[in-house]
Amino acid sequence: GNSVTQMEGPVTLSEEAFLTINCTYTATGYPSLFWYVQYPGEGLQLLLKATKADDKGSNKGFEATYRKETTSFHLEKGSVQVSDSAVYFCALSDKAAGNKLTFGGGTRVLVKP
C-alpha cells in the first residue's frame, strides 16, 4: 500500500534560518505529491505540489522536487519567518486509489524571532 514518512518534529529555528523537512514515500503507482500547511486553529492548506518525476513545486519561498529515484519530496525554504510557524504535512495521491490522500504524520515548525 501507499505510505508517507516525514521527519518528526518539533523543529525549532531562528528567523532567517534554512528549513528542510524530509519526506519519503512508498507508492504502487505514479503518485502526485503535495505539501500541506496547517496554521494554528485552521484547516490544511495546499502549499505546493508536483505531479511527475523531476517536477519542482514552489510557493511562498518554499520548494520541493519530486525525486522518483529516491522516492522523496523534501521541503525547503531558504529564509524562514516567524509567520512560517505551522505544522507541515507531506502527502501523496494515487489516482488508482481514487483520489485518496495518504498523509505523513506532520512536522511542527516553530520559528523564533
Partner 1 sequence: DAGVIQSPRHEVTEMGQEVTLRCKPISGHNSLFWYRQTMMRGLELLIYFNNNVPIDDSGMPEDRFSAKMPNASFSTLKIQPSEPRDSAVYFCASSKQWGGSNEQFFGPGTRLTVL
Under the rule (CB under 8 A), what is the footprint of partner 1? 32, 34, 36, 42-46, 49, 51, 89, 93, 95, 98-101, 103, 105-106
Give CA torsion, residues 19, 62, 37, 15, to 10 deg: 40
| Residues 35 and 50 sit within 8 Å (Cβ to Cβ) | no
How do 11-14 and 107-112 pair as beta strands? Answer: parallel
Q: How far is the CB of 32 from partner 1 (least distance, A)?
A: 4
Q: 6 or 19, CB closer to partner 1?
A: 6
Q: How far is the CB of 26 from partner 1 (least distance, A)?
A: 17
Q: What are phi and psi of 72, to 5 degrees?
A: -135, 160
Q: How far is the CB of 102 from partner 1 (least distance, A)?
A: 9
